[in-house]
Structure formats: structure tokens, C-alpha cells
Amino acid sequence: MTADIDHWLRPFALDEHLHAHAAEVIASLPHDVRRDLMDDPAFTMCDYEPAPGRVFHVPVKLSAKSRGPGRAVVLKRTLRRRPVDFVRWVIAHELAHAHLRNGGRWPGDDPEHAADALAGDWGFPRPVDFRF
């Protein structure tokens, strides 16, 4: 399975550090969630180095299924300097948003709360002492 995940992640050209963490998180996802993301040809992931005045364009593919923009996860390379549990929580949280299509788990559910809850269910709880 990890070879399949690595092969799937390679075209996204993530920073190697973030690639390794993303692979670990994706391998830990429930099978149906992992398939939902990996089987979606319109799903993309990327990373960028934030800097003052820098503009970053998120690569988005067109989804044949919804006939709109596909799902995308964008990670800051500054995560390389953060603790492992924080990095993996952020990745899981962002993948949860993608899985939920930026919505909640039910009508009226806050999308941020929903993403935190799913990440925790997947084994990546929000770190207690985190600071952005």
C-alpha cells in the first residue's frame, strides 16, 4: 500500500519532508476515505514557501463528476519546522476538508469542527499546545 501511496503522491511534487508526512497520514486513513481521494483524478496537492508579497496560484483540475473545480490541498513549507504531531494533524485536517468537500458532516455542522473531528477520528487529534 505505501508504494501505491508514494506513486500517487509523486506527481504532486511535494517537498520531500511533507511528502513523507503526507504518505504516513494517507496510509492511516480509512480505506473508503483513502480511495475517495486517490481515485479522484481531479484531486490535487501542492506546497509553497510563503513570503511577503509572493503570490501563489493553486493548481486546480476540472472535475468531470461535478463539472466544477476539483478538490485541492495546499500546504505551507513552513510546516517543515513544526513538530511531527502538528504537521500530521494539519495534513489530516486538510485532507478531511477535501473529503468533506469543504462542508460539514451534516447540515449546519461547522466545517472547521468537522475537519478537526475527522482528523482526530483518523488518529491525528489537534495538538493541545499548538500555535499558528
Delimit the domains of the chain by residue range: 2-121
Cβ neighbours for 93, distance < 8 A, ≥ 6 positions apart: 115, 116, 119, 124, 126
| Residue of 87, 78, 90 whose CA lies nearest to 115 | 90
Average pLDDT over residues 60-69: 80
The answer on pLDDT for 20 being more than 90 is: yes
Residue scoring higher pLDDT (60 or 118): 118
Average pLDDT over residues 49-63: 88
What is the distance in angstroms between the CA of the first residue and the CA of the last residue of the chain?
32
